[in-house]
Amino acid sequence: MYSEKSLLSETATLKNAIDQADAIIIGAGSGLSAAAGLSYDNPTIFKIWFPGYHEHYGIRTINEAELYQFPTLEEHHAYWTRHIASIRYNRAIGKLYLDLYRIIKNKPYFILTTNTDGQFQKAGFDLKKICTPQGDLAFFQCSKPCNDELYPNNQMIQKLLASLGPHDFSVKPEHIPRCPNCGNPLIPNIRRDNAFVEKPWMAKYQNLIDLINAHQGKNILLLELGVGINTPGIIRYPFEHLTLQRNNTYLIRINLKTDNLSLLANSNKAAIIQADIGPLLEELAKEY
Ligand SMILES: [Zn+2]
């Protein structure tokens, strides 16, 4: 059973919950990306990382770019090539992910994240234990889609990037990657509309269920990191329901912004830590 530790400091609260846990399920949202230095809402970051796109298209942030309907397929691929190269492949590992790995690695764990940037994998977390139901920038899928395949895109992206001049807003038509099965263009495996291929990600939920089943009667810590309210059905609500329904389950919600525990307001099974995640994990990692 989890004991109540209401008067300890934030780091001690977190350490206590982690040390008592037999397994840890991490839920991570865009707030964790922002804490690691990549804010999808920040116009300055967008201008630095994607020069010319604001002037050319009026796009202000990465969030806007992800939803932007480029006028042609060639322009779509030029932007997404740069997006995937910058965010998925060329970006260094955020220190907080390394700290988190150091803290968690010796416990059974599972990671559920809406982030598509692959930082957990880069930090050393096992890909089999990472589920990204909103997609992963490391993969293309058929645009139709004619199948549920995910195509690793690292080599294709490097080739496309090499073909782009610094002022090109379009790739050449012959460079657009094509589905090996039906010949339609390949597109990033990112949830934007009904064409999203989600089956491989849904299959990974079984690993999460297996982890929970393997720890019957034991302590499970749900660690929610920077999860906002845009898509609460993916992490926020399932975590709250699991906490309510399962014994020996404790939820810690860490967020920079003021937050609430709607379902768990009067429960002793959950705590909110309002803090900057990076410094908090850095402090905690010193103890592991
Ligand atoms: Zn196809």
Cα 24 to ligand 1 centre (Å): 38
Given a contact cutoff of 8 angstroms between Cβ atoms, the answer to whether 55 and 46 are in contact is no
Q: Please count the other Cβ atoms lying within 10 Å of the Cβ belonging to residue 14.
A: 23
Given a contact cutoff of 8 angstroms between Cβ atoms, the answer to whether 222 and 267 are in contact is no
Cα 129 to ligand 1 centre (Å): 28
Q: Is pLDDT at 130 greater than 90 in this prediction?
A: yes
The order of strands in the sheet holding 186-190 is: 151-152, 135-142, 186-190
**Residue type for 211, please?**
L
Cα 199 to ligand 1 centre (Å): 15
More confident residue, 265 or 51: 51
Cα 185 to ligand 1 centre (Å): 8
Question: What pTM was computed for the model?
Answer: 0.92
Cα 224 to ligand 1 centre (Å): 36
Please tell me the distance from the alpha carbon of residue 131 to that of residue 208, in angstroms, as a whole number: 9
Cα 198 to ligand 1 centre (Å): 15
Cα 143 to ligand 1 centre (Å): 7
Mean per-residue pLDDT, 247-251: 96
State the pLDDT at residue 257.
79
Cα 207 to ligand 1 centre (Å): 28
Please tell me the distance from the alpha carbon of residue 170 to that of residue 56, in angstroms, as a whole number: 12
Please tell me the distance from the alpha carbon of residue 236 to that of residue 28, in angstroms, as a whole number: 10
pLDDT class of 3 with cuts at 50, 70, 90? very low
Cα 186 to ligand 1 centre (Å): 8
Mean per-residue pLDDT, 173-181: 97
Please tell me the distance from the alpha carbon of residue 192 to that of residue 230, in angstroms, as a whole number: 14
pLDDT class of 205 with cuts at 50, 70, 90? very high
